[in-house]
Amino acid sequence: MDSQKYQPPKTVSPGHKAFLEKIGNRLKTLREERNITISFLEKELGISRNSYSLMERGLIYFTTSTLLKILDYYGLSAESFFKDL
């Protein structure tokens, strides 16, 4: 059993929201271009559907390791992902 207690996501600061939305929009575009569902990514990456959905909408903070895991799945470097943001 996991000893960590559930902690709800930290509320996104208004100053970060626009940036997180840009990242989320890019993630959604990558997923939709490949006709991949969030449910499929949940299985492939081990990221819950809810968390991934919230990431795509720019509503939660996420770790660098989570983003890099997603980018690895898509075969993208962080540099190429952020280049056009």
Domain ranges across the chain:
14-80
pTM (2 d.p.): 0.86
Looking at residue 2, its pLDDT comes to: 53
* Cα angle for residues 64, 43, 23 (degrees, 5° grid): 35
**H/E stretch holding 64:** helix 64-74
Looking at residue 11, its pLDDT comes to: 82
Q: CATH second-level architecture of 14-80?
A: Orthogonal Bundle (1.10)
Positions of the chain with pLDDT under 50 = none
Looking at residue 6, its pLDDT comes to: 67
Looking at residue 5, its pLDDT comes to: 75
Nearest to 72 by CA among 45, 51, 49: 45
Q: Looking at this protein, which amino acid is placed at residue 8?
A: P
d(CA 27, CA 21): 10
Looking at residue 10, its pLDDT comes to: 79
